[in-house]
Amino acid sequence: MEKTFVTKNTDVQREWFVVDAAGQTLGRLATRVASMLRGKHKPIFTPAVDVGDYVVIVNADKIHVTGRKMDQKIYYRHSRYPGGLREITLRNLLHKHPTRVIEYAVRGMLPKNRLGRQMIKKLKVYAGPNHPHEAQQPQSLELK
């Protein structure tokens, strides 16, 4: 009789990866990073357990998008006051807060529950080429 293997939090071995976002397409980068955060690349993947790895993204300000998304893609937020709807284009958001563009894209691809909020904490995004996570000895991750 074969037994079913169920992953537990004690079975998880987390690694650190660094991704250079310079010249990468936003959506393709976000799908790959979301998959790494969920742990879908591991053989012990279980949908109800956070088995993913840490991902550090550098050069977030050099991200690439196709088409006319720079001016047509709009991000909305609301202050919960009457008339409090605010909007900002992708071009302006990249200029003001370049890290938020990648964070919003990846967050939208993760589960919308407690598990997703736990997974997004393993994502570290930096606008420039430097990051403070050298002590973790992150591996370079090449995206195709």
CA distances from 108 to 104, 105, 130 (A): 6, 5, 26
From CA 49, how far away is CA 34, in angstroms rounded? 15
Q: What order of strands is seen across the sheet that includes strand 123-125?
A: 123-125, 54-58, 16-20, 139-140
From CA 92, how far away is CA 101, in angstroms rounded? 10
What the chain holds in terms of domains, given with CATH numbers, is 15-64+98-140 (3.90.1180.10)
What is the per-residue pLDDT across 80-116, written as a single tens digit (0 to 9) for each?
Answer: 999 999 999 999 999 999 999 999 999 999 999 999 9
What is the per-residue pLDDT across 41-64, written as a single tens digit (0 to 9) for each?
Answer: 999 999 999 999 999 999 999 999
Strands 74-78 and 54-58: unpaired
Measured over the CA atoms of residue 10, residue 12, residue 15 and residue 21, the dihedral's sign is: negative
Please report which confidence band the pLDDT of residue 143 belongs to, taking 50, 70 and 90 as the band edges.
Answer: confident
